[in-house]
Amino acid sequence: MSPPLAGDAAELRRGTAYAFAAYGIWGLFPLYFHALEPSGAFEILAHRILWTLLFCVVVLVVRRDFGWVASVVHRPKLLAGLTLAALLIAANWVVYVLAVITGRTYAAALGYFLNPIVTVGLGVFVLRERLRPLQWAAVTVGAVAAVYLTVAGGEFPWIAVTLAFSFAFYGLVKKKVGASLDAMHSLTVETLVLAPVAVGVLFWLAAKGSTTFGGHGATHMTLLVAAGVVTAIPLLFFAAAARRIPLVTIGLIQFLTPMLQLLIGVVLLDEHVTGALWVGFGIVWIALLLLTIDSLRQGQTNRRNNRAAREGDPTEPCP
């Protein structure tokens, strides 16, 4: 069996760097959205949609990359799926921004810690996938965490649950209907679908005299405009990483985002996390530990199986 090629190792290193860049940027989002005060969640969402769309269009014009548009227009099922994905990600964005600007970044972090567990659960109940024992244990522990947080917190943890489920369903929809489009094409369609709603929100805010764009200095206006680049860049990094490194590696690196969010919320934004909530985080982390162990074991099994298959292939070149 041939040893790994130097070029493959370089691609793995590059892909890992891209993944850390993507999840690192996402983890720093609380600082960015906190800097957008006094803008409200819906105004930030509207600007994020419109400036992201403009960014995507500029990139596509530079690349002269519009050949894929006709295929989307003539595939109603794909277009409907991307529309649903757009609505799900819009709900995710607005709840996330609302959590940050109202001093509940820790709740957003909890949502993204819960997300992998919800995703696994959707695999069972929607895609009828079979779970391994550790995956079942993780889902069960995650459900216990949700019940505990509801009882101990005295209210339903709607921010964390909404973020976890909206992003999990977004991933499910993208898996079902959006796999044929790359990240830039998909993001363009999704923001294009949401653009009329974003324009309507800005007109509504302007009519109420509640818009902050242009009324709070050049820095504030620049930060709102930059929402397009800030949204698109980590998605492009993520797409580049996904093509180069195993899914198991991506799954482990993704925990960087909620960890950074939690640290930023508690340390830099001085948010108060109750003892009961820390216990809830601890239960969730047990579930994530179980998922991590299962992923590492499965990765080792897959590598052994692949190695055995290559060694048993008579066409495999000799060392």
Quote the percentage of the chain above a pLDDT of 70: 93
Amino acid identity for residue 275 in this structure: G
Q: Is pLDDT of 315 > 50?
A: no
Model pLDDT, residue 178: 60
247: confidence class by pLDDT, cuts 50, 70, 90: low
Establish if 318 belongs to a structural domain: no
**What average pLDDT does this structure show over 58-78?**
90
201 or 245, which is more confident? 201
Q: Report which DSSP code applies to 288.
A: H
Sequential DSSP letters for 168-202: HHHHHHHHHHSTTS-HHHHHHHHHHHHHHHHHHHH
Model pLDDT, residue 248: 63
Model pLDDT, residue 8: 72
pLDDT in tens, 7-45: 577 788 888 899 899 999 999 999 999 999 899 999 999
Establish if 316 belongs to a structural domain: no
316: confidence class by pLDDT, cuts 50, 70, 90: very low
Model pLDDT, residue 16: 86
d(CA 24, CA 16): 12
Count of the separate structural domains present in the chain? 1
**What average pLDDT does this structure show over 263-270?**
90
Q: Is pLDDT of 312 > 60?
A: yes
Establish if 319 belongs to a structural domain: no
Range with top average pLDDT, 97-101, 125-129, 138-142, 270-274: 97-101
Establish if 103 belongs to a structural domain: yes
**What average pLDDT does this structure show over 276-281?**
88
Range with top average pLDDT, 67-76, 170-179, 194-203, 270-279: 194-203
202 φ/ψ angles, rounded to the nearest 5 degrees: -65, -40
Establish if 34 belongs to a structural domain: yes
Establish if 248 belongs to a structural domain: yes
Model pLDDT, residue 286: 92
Model pLDDT, residue 4: 42
Establish if 50 belongs to a structural domain: yes
Spatial CA neighbour of 158 closest among 170, 145, 149, 168 = 149
Q: Is pLDDT of 319 > 60?
A: no
**What average pLDDT does this structure show over 225-237?**
89
Amino acid identity for residue 23 in this structure: Y
**What average pLDDT does this structure show over 266-272?**
89
Establish if 236 belongs to a structural domain: yes
Q: Is pLDDT of 157 > 60?
A: yes
pLDDT in tens, 69-108: 988 888 888 899 899 989 999 999 999 999 999 999 999 9
d(CA 281, CA 114): 9
**What average pLDDT does this structure show over 209-217?**
85
Residue-number span of the structural domain to which 86 is assigned: 6-311
Model pLDDT, residue 293: 87
Q: Is pLDDT of 309 > 80?
A: no
Query: Is-contact 288 255, C-beta < 8 A?
Result: yes
Spatial CA neighbour of 53 closest among 183, 184, 191 = 191
Which stretches of the chain are DSSP H helices?
6-34, 41-63, 69-73, 76-101, 105-125, 133-153, 158-177, 183-208, 217-225, 227-242, 247-253, 256-263, 275-311
Amino acid identity for residue 240 in this structure: A
What's the mean per-residue pLDDT of the chain?
85
160: confidence class by pLDDT, cuts 50, 70, 90: very high
